[in-house]
Amino acid sequence: MKSEKVDEGESIWEPGGFIQSVSVNKVEKMKKSINMKHDEDVNYNCKECDKKISLHNRDWHDNMCDDCFNKSYFAGK
């Protein structure tokens, strides 16, 4: 997967970032959903609250709805 350019002074390692390692095979499958919106292909369920989520959230938000993802990774911010 091609890496995104980071603006000068920014870092992917800044506090509040979410990075997850995935296999090369999984990345190939995930490419389809990286630019999808959160309301496209809503056929999955949040692993925390069971709310319907999109393919994008499944692949890029640790299989969680936005609320659960934010509570899990950005609590207290």
Q: What is the pLDDT of residue 33?
A: 79
Angstrom distance (rounded) from CA 46 to CA 61: 10
CB of 52 closer than 8 Å to CB of 44: yes
Q: What pTM does this model have?
A: 0.60
**Would 60 be classed as within a structural domain?**
yes
User: For residue 33, is it within any domain?
Assistant: yes
With respect to residue 3, please indicate whether it lies within any of the assigned structural domains.
no
Total domain count, the chain? 1
Residue span of the structural domain in which 33 resides: 24-73
pLDDT along the chain (77 residues), means of 10: 51 61 74 79 95 92 93 80
